Amino acid sequence: MTTNGRERGPKRTGVASNASHPIRIGAIAKVVRMTQDTGLPFVEGEAVVIESIAHRPHFYRVRFLGERLSTTRFVHPDWQTDTERSLALLYEMCRASALPEFEEFFPDENN
């Protein structure tokens, strides 16, 4: 969509008020990310929620504490109350996803 000949980015809202954006603007949130090389989760840090991104559930513009620039991150409300437990569950899910398939251990009896 354009306005006065300029391209506009995704619509953003000022207040988180629905299920897809439950974290309030101005809240301090813990941001969990996956490493590029191994795909394992880690806590990137704590950030101030600046704004929510419309039509992208749980995506927010955030500014990490002590930083001047803001960035877009996926922030889930369930990770805020017990981040260490959430991180452990995500880590175990990643490890389980990397396990070999059962067929490798139990070959087809018809072959």
Boundaries of every domain in the chain: 10-99
Rounded alpha-carbon distances, angstroms, from residue 73 to 67, 86, 111: 15, 17, 48
| Rounded mean pLDDT, 5-29 | 67
Local confidence band at 72 (pLDDT 50, 70, 90 cut-offs):
very high
Phi/psi for 101 (5° steps) reads -70, 155
Nearest residue to 79 (alpha-carbon basis) of 69, 68, 90? 90
Give me 94's structure tokens: 């990643």
Contact between 43 and 34 under an 8 Å Cβ cutoff? The reply is no
Can you give the pLDDT at residue 106?
A: 59
Instruction: State pTM to two decimals.
Output: 0.67
